[in-house]
Amino acid sequence: MIARGPIGNLSTGGYAAAVTRVAIIGAGFGGIAVAHQLRQAGYRDLTIFERAPEVGGVWRDNLYPGCACDIPAPLYSYSFAPNPEWTRRFPPRAEILDYLRACVRDFGLTAHLRLGTEVVEAAWTGSAWRVVTAAGAEEFDVLIPAMGQLSRPVIPVLPGAAEFGGIAMHTAQWDASVDLTGRRVAVLGTGASAIQLVPAIAGQAAHVTVLQRTPPWTLPKPDRRYGRLRRALHRRVPVVLRAARAGTWLLTVVTGKAVTGSRLAQVVVGTISRTQRAIQGRGLAGVRPDYALGCKRVLFTGDWYRTLRRPDVSLVTSDVDRLTPAGVRTADGVEHPVDVLVYGTGFAATEFLAPVRVHGRTGPLDAEWRDGAYAHLGIAVPGFPNLFLMYGPNTNTGNTSVVYFHESQARYIVQAVRHVDAHGPVEVRREVAEAFDAEIQRRLARSVWTACSSWYRTATGRVVTNWPGMAGEYRARTKVFRPADYAPAGQFQGTSAPNGLGSRSQ
């Protein structure tokens, strides 16, 4: 049972909410958050399109062994729905998925779900959004894509892939029917998924070969079990759970400052990371990062280095040359025998909203985003009336819970929908969106995220995923919907710039 907390100032406020038809794409953390808060504000004409047969987003899709959260549970949950039933500080994916299912049920969202229904296209008609699925087309007043940044797996194109005689799969497309017992497994990548998977399968597989491109920066993962007494305390004394959330928040402030430029925080966090590596990784070669702390995602672990020291685990730092019928050959000429190849190679995080084709007032969204995705506050795009993004460009966080950002966006979008309800279609002014984007890119240019190649950046080097400041700043800047930043959609005629593109900063 989810404990219901305060929602905040989201009463209906006298608006005739029923006249607005809202389509939400995606039933993960973001989609559930905005659907719930719209219902709290009095909106009932909501349709949540979900391509999969059930809710859950990444926590539904990622079935690989060891999959768990790397943010403590009290913070990686909705502030308005604390969960006293977590069994661990860092809960496994099954518990997070159960939590989301319970939220959908308790929030009354089940009737709004359209499961197993993939949106393929959305186009602005001049007065509404025409949403197309395999079942046909429907019109909505407001469109809210909540598709996430980590939903489309990336599988590299490797020479010899067609010749490989074993089983190959991505961590986000895990085939649970494949028994790894006694098999030789190779894991390509050392990111967040691999650092959980490898310790989980070591000892079950006959041998695990870790194919590393770059070693990660790591921090200790202070996991602990929440026993029956602790869970009972969380149920009966909710302030304990709130205190745990506040404490976790304070810790993420420190790590956040280390990423966003505080020299003192960098020294503290960097010292902790180096100490962990020196103690746990003693004697291991190839585990020292050669790039700045925070440039790639910092990973939390308590058993990564210990696992790499096992006799049945090999760390290979030579680049992959090609796949062979029997395994993987690396650039040093060594062929590694492999029965199962696992791609821990991440996601197409910079390709927002793909593969849905979105066509706005000024043209297709991929043309507007030709030089990289952008949006005012990560939410609104000029030329696309009544479209409000959840987890849009530059709203990822490298240090705290993304759920905090989801809640901020959902509160802002509720205000935006109220404004649409009262005044008709609106779109963000181009000069407002461009000024915001120029500021964000100027700040990001000085950030650690430009110091190396990562999934935060496009091929041209533009950082399109991450927020450059602290989470508290984002919450403050999205607290109030400002009508002056928007204009009635009917005020705009034609295309405001060649190919729908403005002169925003690269």
Report pLDDT digits (tens) over 103-113. Answer: 999 999 999 99
Q: In this structure, are 143 and 68 located in the same domain?
A: yes
Q: How many angstroms separate the CA atoms of 442 and 463, rounded?
A: 11
Confirm whether 390 is domain-assigned: yes
Domain boundaries, position 366: 17-152+349-500
Q: In this structure, are 312 and 374 located in the same domain?
A: no
Q: In this structure, are 171 and 93 located in the same domain?
A: no
Of 52-66, 190-204, 209-223, 237-251, the range with the lowest mean pLDDT is: 237-251
The predicted pLDDT at position 12 comes to: 38
Q: What is the arithmetic mean of pLDDT over 42-56?
A: 97
Give the model confidence (pLDDT) of 13-38 as tens digits. 444 444 699 999 999 999 999 999 99
The predicted pLDDT at position 326 comes to: 96
Any alpha helices (H) in 310-350, and if so which ranges?
none
The predicted pLDDT at position 148 comes to: 87
Q: In this structure, are 398 and 494 located in the same domain?
A: yes
Q: In this structure, are 448 and 359 located in the same domain?
A: yes
Taking residue 247's Cβ as centre, other Cβ atoms within 10 Å add up to 12
Confirm whether 489 is domain-assigned: yes
Does 493 score more than 50 pLDDT? no
Is the distance from CB of 171 to CB of 195 less than 8 angstroms? no
Does 52 score more than 80 pLDDT? yes
The predicted pLDDT at position 492 comes to: 57
> Is the bond into 325 cis (omega within 30 degrees of 0)?
no
The predicted pLDDT at position 387 comes to: 98
Confirm whether 274 is domain-assigned: no
Confidence of residue 506 (pLDDT cuts 50, 70, 90): very low
CATH of the domain at 122: 3.50.50.60
Integer-rounded Cα radius of gyration of the chain: 23
Give the model confidence (pLDDT) of 161-177 as tens digits. 999 999 999 999 999 99
Bridge partners of 313, per DSSP, are 208
Q: In this structure, are 29 and 115 located in the same domain?
A: yes
Tokens of 187: 């894991």
Of 180-189, 319-328, 329-338, 457-466, the range with the lowest mean pLDDT is: 457-466
Give the sheet arrangement for strand 167-170, strand by strand: 167-170, 340-343, 184-188, 207-211, 313-316
Confirm whether 358 is domain-assigned: yes
Does 228 score more than 60 pLDDT? yes
Q: In this structure, are 31 and 86 located in the same domain?
A: yes
Confidence of residue 399 (pLDDT cuts 50, 70, 90): confident
Q: What is the arithmetic mean of pLDDT over 328-334?
A: 97
Q: In this structure, are 194 and 339 located in the same domain?
A: yes
Q: What is the pTM of this model?
A: 0.92
Confidence of residue 258 (pLDDT cuts 50, 70, 90): confident
Confirm whether 7 is domain-assigned: no
> Domain count of the chain?
2
Confirm whether 495 is domain-assigned: yes
Q: In this structure, are 338 and 398 located in the same domain?
A: no
The predicted pLDDT at position 263 comes to: 87
State the average pLDDT for the chain. 91
